[in-house]
Every structure is written in structure tokens, then in C-alpha cells.
């Protein structure tokens, strides 16, 4: 007499286990095929390398009409050669100084030059009150009233040295045609005029900065 709850006959149990075994075997086959695919996978890679080299820039200036060129840093600022009137200004007088810039040999890119507002001297008794100026790009190296009248104004006439401009002027410089030559010079004319606010015995100086940024 059977005491368990299994009322299946031996043949039915065998049949049931057989189906279960086949199911497990089928599952095993699936896993086996999957493992075979994974082992058969191939990896391949591609690589690319880029090299980067900075360009170079050499900015030169001249205060003698382009005869002599040099690199004038903040600690070695070029002294502008103003006309004789600069040493004996009275109201209404204007003094002129030529200035030129170019990109030196070996420069690899064109540049844009920004003209900063002048920085006035701050020594005891120094003052540029009453002085105005204009900066003009000219076609030649001559710097006088005619050159100013015929040039392209970068800084408008009557601009105060003390306060300067809100929007700074810019102009372009062209890179050298070959590695061993300098670029084409841009000639400038700086004219400073004494107004009624420039009084007897007053003295002062100002420094202009020209900053070139490669394009």
C-alpha cells in the first residue's frame, strides 16, 4: 500500500523526468552555443595621433620713420621723437611724432593691434591735464599737419590724454611674405595739442601701449 501522494505510475514519472531532462539539455545547448559565439568574437582597434606646434610672433616698432626697428617692451619703451614744440607748448600748439609697427621675420600669422589708452606719469607735479591727441594711420613716414589731415584717424582729434576712449581702436598687421623677411610696416602719426587747461610751467608724460594678437 502506497503512503506518499504520488499516484503516478513509474512510466509516467519516467516520461515526466525525461521531458525535464530534455528541457535542461536544451537549455545547456543554448548556453553552449552562446559560449561558442563569445569565444569566436575578434577585437580590432584603430589609432590616430595629432601633433600641435604653436606659431610665432615678433612685433617691432620704429620711431625714426622706419630706419631703425627694435622690440620695445614695457621696461624699454621707445621714446617718441616729438617736434620741438613739445618742449615749449602753449595753448593751441600741436606737436607731432611718427611711429611705425610691423611683424618681424619668422612671424607665422597676421595680427590685430589694439591701441590702449595712454597712461600718464604720476610723478610729483606731473600732469597731462589740458592735453588732447589724435592717432592717425598714414600712407608714408612723414608726420605733420598734412599727414594727419590726409590719414585715417584711429583716435579722433581732441581725445583727452587723461580720460582716453571707451572703445579702443584696432588695426591690422600682415605677416611676412617669407620666413626671413619682415612684414609690411603700418605708419602712424601721433599729434598732441595743448588746450587752455595746459598752464605755464606744467609738465607731464604719457605712455601708449600697442598690443598685437595673432589671427
CATH number at residue 76: 2.60.40
How many domains does the structure of the chain reveal?
1
14-50: buried (b, 16+ CB within 10 Å) or exposed (e) per residue?
A: eeeeeeeeeeeeeeeeeeeeeeeeeeeeeeeeeeeee
Query: Residue 108: which domain range?
Result: 59-214
Q: What is the mean pLDDT of residues 55-81?
A: 93
In percent, the amount of the chain with pLDDT more than 90 equals 65
For 82-118, how does the pLDDT look when each residue is reduced to its tens digit (9 = 90+)?
998 888 899 999 999 999 999 999 999 999 999 999 9
In a domain, 35, yes or no: no
Give the per-residue pLDDT at 29: 47
Domain-located, residue 21: no
Residue 25 has what pLDDT?
Answer: 46
More confident residue, 15 or 54: 54
Amino acid at each position: 500500500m502506497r503512503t506518499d501522494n504520488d499516484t503516478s505510475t513509474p512510466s509516467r514519472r519516467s516520461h515526466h523526468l525525461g521531458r525535464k531532462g530534455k528541457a535542461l539539455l536544451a537549455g545547456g545547448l543554448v548556453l553552449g552555443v552562446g559560449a561558442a559565439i563569445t569565444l569566436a568574437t575578434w577585437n580590432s582597434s584603430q589609432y590616430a595621433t595629432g601633433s600641435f606646434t604653436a606659431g610665432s610672433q615678433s612685433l617691432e616698432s620704429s620711431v625714426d620713420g622706419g630706419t631703425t626697428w627694435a622690440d620695445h617692451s614695457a621696461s624699454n619703451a621707445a621714446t617718441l621723437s616729438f617736434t620741438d614744440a613739445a618742449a615749449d607748448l602753449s595753448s593751441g600748439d600741436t606737436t607731432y611724432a611718427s611711429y611705425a609697427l610691423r611683424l618681424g621675420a619668422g612671424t607665422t600669422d597676421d595680427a590685430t593691434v589694439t591701441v590702449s589708452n595712454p597712461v600718464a606719469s604720476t610723478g610729483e607735479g606731473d600732469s597731462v591735464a589740458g592735453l588732447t591727441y589724435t592717432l592717425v594711420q598714414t600712407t608714408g613716414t612723414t608726420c605733420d599737419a598734412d599727414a594727419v589731415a590726409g590719414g585715417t584717424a584711429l583716435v579722433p582729434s581732441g581725445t583727452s590724454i587723461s580720460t582716453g576712449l571707451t572703445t579702443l581702436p584696432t588695426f591690422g598687421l600682415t605677416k611676412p611674405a617669407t620666413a626671413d623677411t619682415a612684414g609690411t610696416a603700418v605708419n602712424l602719426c601721433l599729434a598732441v595739442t595743448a588746450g587752455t587747461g595746459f598752464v605755464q610751467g606744467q609738465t607731464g608724460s604719457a605712455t601708449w601701449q600697442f598690443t598685437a594678437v595673432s589671427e
